[in-house]
């Protein structure tokens, strides 16, 4: 037997506009009447009641009507409150519905059990009143609505997040492809320029040679930007691989210095290199460490005025510093610092220089050259892949010092697995 209670006291145009639809599931007709009457007698919140005598009837209604809340007798002829909650969970849209259970005195433990399986509240029939009934239902419906809104929001945020990750991935892949595709003809152009420089197709006069030199520098700078872009996308996708082998730090430093020395000379910045002779050969990706040092030295030269000085110093850390940093399996810490007497970095910017695309005072600074703001974040990741860390101390107008701390092993460099380690981000 199903019936809709039609005897609401609300006057036309009052808050009945959007009453909450409550399903009363109760086999006792007198009690059902009491509940329906209680619900219709309140104006705020306002309710409209639908009634069912059995669980079967109630579940049928729930399948076809959009019910806001359920007032459920725990002991129905065809189900207990827990059975009912079980079945309710399987009806789409009602998984977390506002169900208030009515128990006879003494069966609160069963009602508590029903709450554990999803009921919002319970009231005992002996203590029931119009107020307690409508308050319990009103609160339960409001809570269920709030929870539903939160769940919907969470689903929307999750969807937006997935979309953003997908977009980010597409952009990364796009940058990667563009960088690759552009680098290929650029590398070919560099080869042709090198042939011109070698005067393969005939002698060049001094002016022509100068133009070829300048064109070569421009192409090299472009290649270096594309390399940074490619590394940056590799880092994002966890595809930056290290090729580690036993290597020699003085040689690595030399390779880094070789690329920067001509720029320093031209700018009249003095490069001082001090590498301690006590540093043993150790396992590293030599080319990547060259890249890191070249970036630090290149920045130092770039941000130092003519007549200034850039100093690279490499030494083993003393044992106190050593103990604090060393990961398991490493025996010493190598410290490499690159200091300059350049423009320095303001206190508020120091924290951010390792962030992707971050550039301090990009515009209008006469010593700042072109850059993408990718060098330092890449350097930081490469150092991290070597289980080291990098930090910076700087004072505006005085200069900056970037310090790398790398854990190293003194042994032959063999690892347990293969001949040498291979590692990647991600
Ligand atoms: P970019 O290729 O643009 O130089 P980096 O990631 O290498 O990118 O550096 C980020 C920013 O950090 C630079 O634009 C610069 O503002 C600042 N910076 C880096 N090194 C120095 C330095 N030695 N002195 C002053 N500022 C520096």
Residues whose CB is less than 8 angstroms from the CB of residue 84 and which lie 6 or more positions away in sequence, other chains included: 25, 55, 58, 59, 72, 76
C-alpha of residue 350 to centroid of ligand 1, in Å = 10
C-alpha of residue 360 to centroid of ligand 1, in Å = 7
Say what the pLDDT of residue 322 is: 59
Structure tokens given for 248: 């020699």
Mean pLDDT of 303-310: 96
Q: Which long-range contacts (CB under 8 A, 24 or more apart) does 11-14 make?
A: 14/43, 14/46
Residues whose CB is less than 8 angstroms from the CB of residue 178 and which lie 6 or more positions away in sequence, other chains included: none
Largest alpha-carbon pair distance within the chain? 113
Structure tokens given for 234: 């590799």
Q: Distance (Å, rounded) from C-alpha 132 to C-alpha 367? A: 76
Say what the pLDDT of residue 19 is: 87
Q: Is the CB of 337 under 6 A from ligand 1?
A: no
Residues above pLDDT 70, as percent of the chain: 86
- Protein residue with its CA nearest to atom 21 in ligand 1: 299
Residues whose CB is less than 8 angstroms from the CB of residue 257 and which lie 6 or more positions away in sequence, other chains included: 271, 273, 293, 297, 312
Q: For residue range 125-164, what is the model confidence (pLDDT) as tens digits?
A: 888 898 889 999 999 998 888 988 998 999 999 999 999 9
- Protein residue with its CA nearest to atom 25 in ligand 1: 344
Q: For residue range 339-359, what is the model confidence (pLDDT) as tens digits?
A: 999 999 999 888 889 988 877
CA angle 384, 385, 391 (to 5 degrees): 20
Say what the pLDDT of residue 159 is: 96
Q: Give the model's confidence band at 411: pLDDT under 50 very low, under 70 low, under 90 confident, else very high.
A: low
Among candidate residues 121, 129, 84, the one with its CA nearest the CA of residue 112: 121
Q: Distance (Å, rounded) from C-alpha 89 to C-alpha 87? A: 5
Q: For residue range 181-237, what is the model confidence (pLDDT) as tens digits?
A: 888 899 999 999 999 999 998 999 999 999 999 999 899 888 988 888 888 888 877
Q: Give the model's confidence band at 107: pLDDT under 50 very low, under 70 low, under 90 confident, else very high.
A: low
Handedness of CA 193, 199, 201, 202 (dihedral sign): positive
Say what the pLDDT of residue 419 is: 38
pLDDT exceeds 90 at position 315? yes
Among candidate residues 237, 240, 232, the one with its CA nearest the CA of residue 357: 232
User: What's the mean per-residue pLDDT of the chain?
Assistant: 85
Residues above pLDDT 90, as percent of the chain: 49
Atom of ligand 1 nearest to the CA of 370: 3
C-alpha of residue 240 to centroid of ligand 1, in Å = 22
Higher-confidence residue of 321 and 56: namely 56
Q: Is the CB of 342 under 6 A from ligand 1?
A: yes
- E strands, 104-202, in order: 121-124
Pairing of strands 20-25, 399-408: unpaired
Q: Distance (Å, rounded) from C-alpha 193 to C-alpha 197? A: 6
Say what the pLDDT of residue 369 is: 54
Q: Distance (Å, rounded) from C-alpha 22 to C-alpha 88? A: 15
C-alpha of residue 310 to centroid of ligand 1, in Å = 14
Q: Cα 397 from chain centroid?
A: 35
Handedness of CA 134, 138, 139, 144 (dihedral sign): positive
Say what the pLDDT of residue 323 is: 62
Among candidate residues 258, 247, 262, the one with its CA nearest the CA of residue 293: 258
Report pTM.
0.65
Phi, psi of 285, rounded to the nearest 5 degrees? -95, 95
Helix (H) or strand (E) holding 405: strand 399-408
Q: For residue range 231-258, what is the model confidence (pLDDT) as tens digits?
A: 888 887 788 888 999 999 999 999 999 9
Among candidate residues 240, 235, 228, 229, the one with its CA nearest the CA of residue 424: 240
C-alpha of residue 302 to centroid of ligand 1, in Å = 9
Say what the pLDDT of residue 312 is: 98
């Amino acid at each position: 037997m199903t019936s809709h209670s039609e005897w609401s006291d609300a006057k036309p145009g009052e808050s009945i506009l959007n009453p909450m639809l409550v399903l009363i599931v109760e086999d006792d007709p007198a009690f059902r009447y009491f509940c329906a009457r209680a619900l219709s007698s309140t104006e705020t919140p306002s309710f409209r009641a639908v009634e069912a005598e059995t669980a079967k009837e109630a579940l049928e209604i729930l399948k076809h009507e959009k019910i806001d809340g359920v007032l459920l007798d725990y002991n129905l002829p065809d189900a207990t409150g827990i059975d009912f909650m079980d079945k309710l969970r399987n009806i789409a849209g009602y998984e977390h519905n506002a169900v208030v259970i009515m128990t006879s005195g003494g069966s609160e433990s069963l009602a508590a059990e029903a709450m554990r399986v999803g009921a919002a509240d319970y009231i005992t029939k002996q203590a029931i009143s119009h107020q307690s009934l409508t308050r319990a239902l009103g609160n339960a419906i409001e809570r269920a609505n709030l929870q539903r809104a939160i769940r919907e929001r969470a689903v929307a945020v999750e969807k937006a997040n997935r979309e953003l990750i997908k977009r980010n991935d597409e952009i990364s892949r796009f940058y990667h492809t563009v960088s690759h595709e552009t680098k290929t003809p650029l590398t070919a152009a560099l080869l042709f320029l090198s042939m011109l420089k070698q005067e393969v197709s005939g002698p060049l006069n001094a002016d022509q040679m100068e133009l070829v030199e300048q064109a070569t520098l421009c192409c090299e700078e472009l290649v270096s930007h594309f390399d940074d872009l490619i590394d940056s996308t590799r880092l994002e996708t966890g595809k930056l691989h290290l090729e580690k082998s036993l290597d020699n730090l003085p040689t690595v430093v030399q390779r880094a210095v070789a690329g920067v020395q001509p720029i320093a000379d031209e700018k009249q910045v003095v490069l001082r290199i001090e590498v301690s002779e006590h540093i043993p050969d150790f396992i590293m990706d030599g080319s990547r460490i060259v890249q890191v040092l070249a970036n630090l030295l290149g920045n130092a030269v770039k941000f130092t005025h003519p007549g200034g000085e850039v100093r690279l110093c490499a030494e083993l850390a003393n044992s106190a510093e050593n103990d604090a940093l060393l990961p398991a399996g490493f025996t010493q810490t190598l410290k490499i610092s690159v200091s300059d007497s350049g423009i320095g970095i303001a206190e508020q910017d120091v924290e951010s220089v390792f962030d992707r695309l971050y550039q301090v005072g990009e515009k209008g600074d006469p010593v700042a050259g072109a850059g993408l703001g990718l060098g330092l974040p890449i350097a930081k990741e490469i150092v991290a892949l070597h289980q080291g860390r990098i930090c910076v101390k700087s004072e505006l107008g005085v200069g900056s010092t970037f310090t790398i701390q790398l854990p190293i092993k003194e042994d032959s460099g063999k690892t347990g697995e293969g001949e040498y380690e291979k590692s990647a981000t991600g």
